[in-house]
Structure 1
């Protein structure tokens, strides 16, 4: 996994939910531990409550 210093958009809850939903549809309702969907959900939770304002 690359740790670039470029500006990126933080993962949102709704984006993580879409990713997790797509993964669950492919895997019979399960989201494997450590999968991209699980990492997306973790990232969304980490960024929850933080506001992003552009100056």
Structure 2
């Protein structure tokens, strides 16, 4: 079956690691986001600043876990 212009038809790595697991951002996930944004500066992650927000969220999550 041919893929149309819908989701995943262009620029998708197909790695299966995306899809919003809904859990808190961790350092490993933030590193994946930043790496992907660096590989493709035209991506939405890079253009919207999501990579830096992911890193910030991971740092806050790490700090919160240490405070417990």
Residue 39 of structure 1 corresponds to 53
Q: Distance in 1 between matches of 2:33 and 2:61?
A: 16
Q: Identify the structure with the greater helix proportion.
A: 2
Q: Distance in 1 between matches of 2:54 and 2:31?
A: 9
Q: What TM-score results when the alignment is normalised by the length of structure 2?
A: 0.49
Unaligned stretches of 5+ in structure 2? 1-21
Greater relative contact order (Cα < 8 A, sep 6+):
1
Residue 5 of structure 1 corresponds to none
Q: Distance in 2 between matches of 1:50 and 1:12?
A: 11
| Runs of 4+ residues over 3 Å off in structure 1 | none
Q: What TM-score results when the alignment is normalised by the length of structure 1?
A: 0.60
